[in-house]
Amino acid sequence: MDIFIQLTLNGLIAGSIYALVALGFNLSYGTMRFFDLGYSALIAVGGYTVFFLSRQIGLPLPISILIGTIMAGIAGYIIYLLVYVPLRKRKASNMALLVASLGIFTVIQAVIGIFFSSQFRTLSGPVDAERIFHVFGGSITRIQVIILGTSIVVMFALAIIFRFTTFGKSIRAIGDSEEVSKIVGINTSRIIGYVLFIGSAIAGLVGILVGFDTGITPTMGFSLLLKGVVASIIGGVGNVYGGVVGALFLGLIENYGIWHISTEWKDAIAFGLLILFLYFRPQGIFRK
Amino acid sequence: MKTKWIIGIIAAVILVIVGIALFDRSPDQAEAGLIKIGVVAPLTGDTAFLGEGVREAMLLAKEQLGDTEYQYELIFEDDQLDPKMTASATNKLIDIDGVDVLVSFSSGSGNVVAPIAERNEIVHLGIASDPNVANGFYNFIHWTPPAEEARVFVEELEKRNISRLGMIVPNQQGAVAVADAVKERLEGTDIEIVNEQTINAGDTDFRTAVNKAKDGNPEIYLLFAFTPELEILGRQMKEAGITTPLTSIEAFELTEERDLFEGYWYVNAAEPTNEFNQAFNSRTGKNQTLGAPNAYDIFNLVVSVTEDEPQRPTPKDIAEGLKDVENFNGALGNLSVGENDIILSPAAVRIIQNGQPVTIK
């Protein structure tokens, strides 16, 4: 029973991280309609900004976390203005945008590697100082509780924005049809910029939380993005709530799946699940 | 538009000319008495401190050379222990630098370099556990063989009356080779592997593996992971409330976060000689790192074999010379090249004490 509780907790923690990635990814995919690989580099931007500010400059942690999140958002917005806006104006294909985003990912992770080296680093303090809670025989650390809480808060905040604000309605309208949105007077370029700022800030937050939980490397975002995309596809691409459900489902299945088989099968289970969904339910759990 | 095309064509022609000029430098053009040794090691990244140790040890060996018949040049290439970078660094050392001897660090890198060296008929010495690295005529290993490490490890388990062993092994060649040697050695003993978890190298979430590892109530956990998986694993085991002692073969010296493993015993290559330790320390101001004495010995072995040749030796001559090495006085003791072209050196039981490895047996 203890192992079941622990696996459930592990699944929820992993699922919460994937959910945050999926939320940010779905925001950008829902408006721009292409697979933005550059998003994964912004995860590392958040983590390394906090590492630099708190560990190297000595700023208080809450301020570092706030700046790290905003920095990732600004980086995402600048990338949008400098790269995606010009390409979209030229009616670049999704493939061209994908390649451009791959270039952005490569450049950002290389720059981080040059400044900070590709050495693995952690944002957390000594392991003995980490507070551990015991829940029904399972254990969970303080940072993992924060990860769970953050993902719930971000999901509800986005839900409120989508449902009750004009900005949210504009995002949904652009998601339905960018051309029609323009015709009805929505400044789509500006809204997409804001959306990318929010999505990138979420990516930065993911990098910070993962940095505290396990650690940071310049390439840390890529595998997280892949899992976030798998979660999005399972939940329903472009559907913000679907992404969250898909992420939690993925996290739990991954962890239950390796209960009686070797843990090295974890990724195979995740991508096997993706194939099953693509084959039997390509629209995901929820339709857009 | 036309100008752009002309500039593009001129740039392409310049690139081709530069490329031909670089690649056309065959080893024949090298000075007759110069022996080039190319070293592929992690000089940046997580394990840079190990690669730096290898570099410093080889430079130390070169500095200590007296009058020699031939000149020796060391060329270092960084691979960050990434196989793609290992392959390109190796090809660069062969094609552009025209090296006579290659040295690699780790089983992963060694498995990349070995077939390239064999194909190009260049001597390769790997600082690696996996015996496959020594496959072929030109490939050698200078590392305490897994069988020797497993022998010392199992003897220590028996001495400490440990009968239930848990193992956490990443799916990496070197680690698997040592884990297999331990399993083989345990056959016929009273020690049982009550739990074995295989983890993916590159993962960061081992929590489920850690929780599953509690099954069978092991008396000690044998960890094989490389950095950074090792540090993450150490942390996640503590977070999961595991207080059972940890041990390793080699792994604890692969990390700079040794405080995670304070007070735990493990098995590694035997302590190098005092002369080497002192010389390394006075050159670098640091203690020797894993593989550094092996690198020091490799340089001296190559020099020793080469100096015996009346004419500038070919890689084949060097390989043949290495196969005949017996009782060579190295930093890791009396060295001989054994069967399968593995340079034999003993293993020892060590402990992490105040963050430093200390030999206890």
Closest chain A C-alpha to B11 CA, distance in angstroms = 22
pLDDT score for B1 = 56
Would the CB atoms of A7 and B208 count as touching at under 8 Å? yes
pLDDT higher than threshold 80 for residue A48: yes
| 8-state DSSP, A260 | S
Q: How far is CA B116 from the centre of its chain?
A: 17
Of A126, A220, A263, the CB nearest to B208: A263
**Number of other residues whose CB lies within 10 A of the CB of residue A173:** 18
Per CB-CB distance under 8 Å, the chain A contacts of B211 are 3, 6-7, 10
Element (H, E) at A13: helix A2-32
Tell if the CB–CB gap between A214 and B171 is shorter than 8 Å: no
Q: Inter-chain contact B200–A255, Cβ cutoff 8 Å?
A: no
DSSP code, position B314:
P
- Residue A262's pLDDT is what? 80
Cβ atoms of B167 and B183 closer than 8 Å: no
CATH classification of A2-280 is 1.10.10, yes or no?
Answer: no
Residues from B contacting A (CB-CB < 8 Å) are: 44-46, 48, 80, 171, 197-200, 202-209, 211-212, 215, 227-228, 231-232, 234-235, 238-241, 259-260
Which of A224-228, A257-261, B108-112, B351-355 has the least mean pLDDT?
A257-261
Residues of chain B contacting residue A139, judged by C-beta atoms under 8 Å apart: 239-241
Partner-chain residue, chosen from A141, A215, A258, that has the shortest CB–CB distance to B232: A215
Closest CB to A214 among B200, B204, B259:
B204
- Give the per-residue pLDDT at B250: 84
Positive or negative, the CA dihedral B126, B129, B131, B133 is negative
Residue corresponding to tokens 């088989």: A261
Smallest Cα–Cα separation from A40: which of A251, A207, A232?
Answer: A207
B7-16: list long-range contacts, CB under 8 Å, 24+ apart. none
Q: Testing the interface with A: which of B235, B238, B243, B257 to mutate, by most A Cβ within 10 A?
A: B235
User: Under an 8 A CB cutoff, do A120 and B212 touch?
Assistant: no
Report pLDDT digits (tens) over A152-176: 999 999 999 988 999 999 998 998 8
Please tell me the predicted confidence (pLDDT) of residue A236: 86
Higher pLDDT, A2 or B33: B33
- Residue reference for tokens 């950095």: B227
ipTM for this prediction: 0.77
Q: Identify which of B194, B240, B171 has the alpha carbon closest to the alpha carbon of residue A266.
A: B171
Going from N- to C-terminal start, the domains of chain A cover: 2-280
Task: Please judge whether B208 and A141 are an interchain contact, meaning their C-beta atoms are less than 8 angstroms apart.
Answer: no
CA distance B306 to B285: 31
> Which of B198, B205, B231 has the CB atom closest to A262's CB atom?
B198
How far from A263 is each of A14, A127, A257, A259, B287, CA to CA, in Å? Answer: 14, 23, 9, 8, 36
Q: What is the pLDDT of residue B25?
A: 47
This prediction has a pTM of 0.76
- Whole-number pLDDT of residue A285: 87
Closest CA to A125 of A55, A49, A200: A55
Residues near A150 by beta carbon (within 8 Å), at least 6 away in sequence: A16, A20, A205, A209
Does residue A63 contact residue A70 with C-beta atoms inside 8 Å? no
d(CA B328, CA B199): 39
Whether residues B204 and A118 touch (CB distance < 8 A) is answered with no
Q: B238 and A120: CB-CB below 8 Å?
A: no
* pLDDT tens column, A58-107: 999 999 999 999 999 999 999 999 999 999 889 889 899 999 999 999 99
Q: What is the mean pLDDT of the segment spanning A30-55?
A: 91
pLDDT number for residue B78: 92
Q: Considering chain A, what is the average pLDDT of its residues?
A: 89
Residues of B in contact with A263 (CB under 8 A): 197-200, 206, 208-209, 212
Do the Cβ atoms of B239 and A141 come within 8 Å? Answer: yes
**What is each CA distance from A229 to A42, A95, B255, in whole angstroms?**
15, 17, 33
* Separation CA A10–CA A14 (nearest Å): 6
Per the listing, tokens 């070197």 go with B174
Give residue B29's pLDDT.
45
- B3 vs A192: which has the higher pLDDT: A192
Beta strands at B164-170 and A132-135: parallel, antiparallel or unpaired: unpaired
Rounded distance between C-alpha atoms, residue B179 and residue B175, angstroms = 6
CA A120 → CA A48, A50, B42, B209, distances in Å? 11, 14, 14, 21
- Whole-angstrom CA distances from B96 to B18, B30, B38, B100, B203 are 12, 11, 11, 12, 36
% of chain A beyond a pLDDT of 90: 56
Q: Do B212 and A263 touch (CB under 8 A)?
A: yes
3-state secondary structure of A158: helix
Give me the pLDDT at residue B16, please. 63
Question: Does A14 contact B205 at a Cβ distance shorter than 8 Å?
Answer: yes
Q: Tens digit of pLDDT per residue, chain B (361 long)?
A: 566 666 677 777 676 666 555 545 444 544 578 999 999 999 887 778 889 999 999 999 999 988 888 999 999 999 988 888 999 999 999 999 999 999 999 888 999 999 999 999 999 999 998 889 999 999 999 998 888 899 999 999 999 999 999 999 998 877 888 899 999 999 989 999 999 999 988 788 888 888 888 888 999 999 988 878 888 898 889 888 888 999 999 888 878 778 889 999 999 887 889 899 999 999 988 888 889 999 999 999 999 999 988 888 999 999 999 999 988 999 988 888 987 899 988 889 999 998 888 888 6
Question: Which residues of chain B make contact with A122, given a CB cutoff of 8 A?
Answer: 231, 235
In chain B, residues with a C-beta closer than 8 Å to the C-beta of A255 are: 208
Q: Show the DSSP H helices in chain B as ranges.
A: 2-23, 48-63, 83-95, 107-120, 146-159, 173-186, 207-212, 229-239, 274-284, 292-307, 315-323
> Which domains are seen in chain B, by residue range?
24-143+273-346 (3.40.50.2300), 146-269 (3.40.50.2300)
Residue B119: the pLDDT is 93
Put simply, the answer to whether B48 touches A119 (Cβ < 8 Å) is yes
**Bond from prior residue into B228 cis (ω within 30 degrees of 0):** yes
Cα–Cα dist B142/B19, whole Å: 35
pLDDT tens digit sequence for B34-44:
999 999 999 88
Using DSSP's 3-state secondary structure scheme, residue B213 falls into coil
What pLDDT score was predicted for residue A128? 61
End-to-end CA distance of chain A: 37
Q: Which residue of B has its CA nearest to A142?
A: B239
- Which among A7, A119, A209 is the top mutation candidate for probing chain B, defined by the most B β-carbons within 10 Å of its own β-carbon? A119
- Phi and psi dihedrals of B338, rounded to 5? -90, -165
Terminus-to-terminus CA distance in chain B, angstroms?
Answer: 75
Is pLDDT above 90 for A260?
no
